[in-house]
Amino acid sequence: MMEKRLVANTGIAVSPLGLGTVKFGRNQGVKYPQGFELPTDREVRELLALAFDLGINLLDTAPAYGLSEARIGKLLPNARHEWVIETKVGERFADGESSFDFSATGTRQSVENSLRLLKTDYLDMVLIHSDGDDVRILREEAVLDTLLTMQQQGWIRTIGISSKTVEGALLAYELGCDVVMAAYNPVYTDELPVLEAAAAQHKAVLVKKAFASGHLDKLGANNGNPVEQALAFIFAQQGVTSVVLGTLNPKHLRDNVAIATALLDE
């Protein structure tokens, strides 16, 4: 069983692998190598139950993931407190297009909508879903202050940003965020300074794009298992709290957990 890791000093403990759920609710405008059908309710329920049985407690979702939040709210097995649910604010996806709103009103409405869809009275983590202009969003928009207020009011346990730039991620830590979601894999290491800062400052990092959005062939594995090589490369960084992987395939989920468990037990 994978040993849980603390998210900074929040008291929240997450599995070193998290389940990304974009594929639960959206199959338009995604960057995966093959198209896919959205899973049935039964398939979602079974995958969530399997994830839990394998020791995964972290779920990554977002309003921009189409039906994902609503499906998790409807189909989540086990007790709510046994899961760590991380969602986002700032980006919505409708009619094949993303739109962004980092205003105070938009942020509050987004959080309230996520609470309603997820059928919960609190969110474990809420991340700002950046449009790429991280620093401007953090310094000039109302989203961060609004989330900090909602955290103080008890709606949210911890906050952060799903960033696109090193500068933005480091600024988020500076401004009081506990967690950043950053991209990192064997062929993309630009955001390594974020992982190093997290280790130095006792902050949390959730790693996205660990498998280059499903393009495992691009990871440059030397005749080995590209999943194993990618996870070994990522977990070698002390700052990594959890790696968020999205899959609809139960076998892939089992294999990923077995590989991660073996690596972390070494």
Q: Which CATH number characterizes residue 179's domain?
A: 3.20.20.100
Q: 85 has which bridge partners?
A: 59
H or E stretch at 75: helix 68-75
Collect all residues with Cβ–Cβ distance below 8 Å to 21 and sequence separation of at least 6: 59, 60, 61, 65, 68, 71, 72, 246
* Statement: the pTM of the whole predicted model exceeds 0.85: yes
What was the pLDDT predicted at 220?
Answer: 63
- Residue 225 CA: distances (Å) to CA of 217, 221, 228, 235, 245: 11, 7, 5, 15, 16
Could you tell me if 227 and 262 are in contact, meaning their C-beta atoms sit under 8 angstroms apart? no
Please determine, for residue 32, whether its predicted confidence score (pLDDT) is greater than 90: no
> Domain total for the chain?
1
- Which residues constitute the domain of residue 248? 5-265
- State both tokens at 9: 């000093």
Please determine, for residue 17, whether its predicted confidence score (pLDDT) is greater than 90: yes
Q: What are 82-138's pLDDT values in tens digits?
A: 999 999 999 999 888 899 999 999 999 999 999 999 999 999 999 999 999 999 999
Can you tell me whether residue 151 is helix, strand or coil? helix
Q: What are 183-196's pLDDT values in tens digits?
A: 999 999 999 999 99
What was the pLDDT predicted at 51?
Answer: 98
